Amino acid sequence: MRFDEAYSGKVFIKSRPTHEDAKAIIFGMPMDWTVSFRPGSRFGPNRIREASIGLEEYSPYLDRHLEDVSYFDAGDIPLPFGNPARSIAMIREYADQIIEKGKFPLGLGGEHLVTWPLIEAIYQKYPDLAVIHIDAHADLRVDYEGEPLSHSTPIRKACEKIGAENVYSFGIRSGDRDEFRYAEESGLYMAKFEVAKPLKEILPKLAGRPVYVTIDIDVLDPAFAPGTGTAEAGGISSREMLEAIHAIAQSDVHVVGADLVEVAPNYDPTEQTVIAASKFVREILLGWVK
Q: What is the pLDDT of residue 250?
A: 97
What pLDDT is attached to residue 94?
97
Kindly write down the DSSP assignment for every residue of the chain, as one continuous string. Answer: --TTS---S---TT--S-STT-SEEEEEE---TT-SS---GGGHHHHHHHHHTTS-SEETTTTEEGGGS-EEEEEE--PPTT-HHHHHHHHHHHHHHHHHTT-EEEEEESSGGGHHHHHHHHHHH-TT-EEEEE-SB----S-BTTBSSSTTSHHHHHHHHH-GGGEEEEEE-B--HHHHHHHHHH--EEEES-SHHHHHHHGGGGTTSEEEEEEEGGGB-TTT---BTT--SS-B-HHHHHHHHHHHHTSS-EEEEEEEE-B-GGG-TT-HHHHHHHHHHHHHHHHH--
114: Cβ–Cβ under 8 A, 6 or more apart, which residues?
Answer: 29, 31, 87, 88, 91, 107, 259, 261
In a domain, 11, yes or no: no
Note whether residue 14 is domain-resident.
no
Residue 193 lies in a domain: yes
Per-10-residue mean pLDDT for the chain, 290 residues long? 69 94 96 92 97 97 96 96 95 97 97 97 98 98 80 96 98 96 97 98 98 98 97 98 98 98 97 98 97
Q: What's the confidence (pLDDT) of residue 223?
A: 97
Q: What is the pLDDT of residue 8?
A: 61
Half-sphere exposure of 222 (CA within 13 A, CB side): 10
- Residue 89 covered by a domain: yes
Answer whether residue 179 is part of any domain.
yes
Identify whether 17 is part of a domain.
no
Measured CA to CA, the distance from residue 153 to residue 138 in angstroms comes to 9
In a domain, residue 75? The reply is: yes
In 10 A of CB 161, how many CB atoms?
16
Count of the separate structural domains present in the chain: 1
Q: Provide the domain limits for residue 49.
A: 24-288
CATH number for the domain that contains residue 154: 3.40.800.10
In a domain, 9, yes or no: no
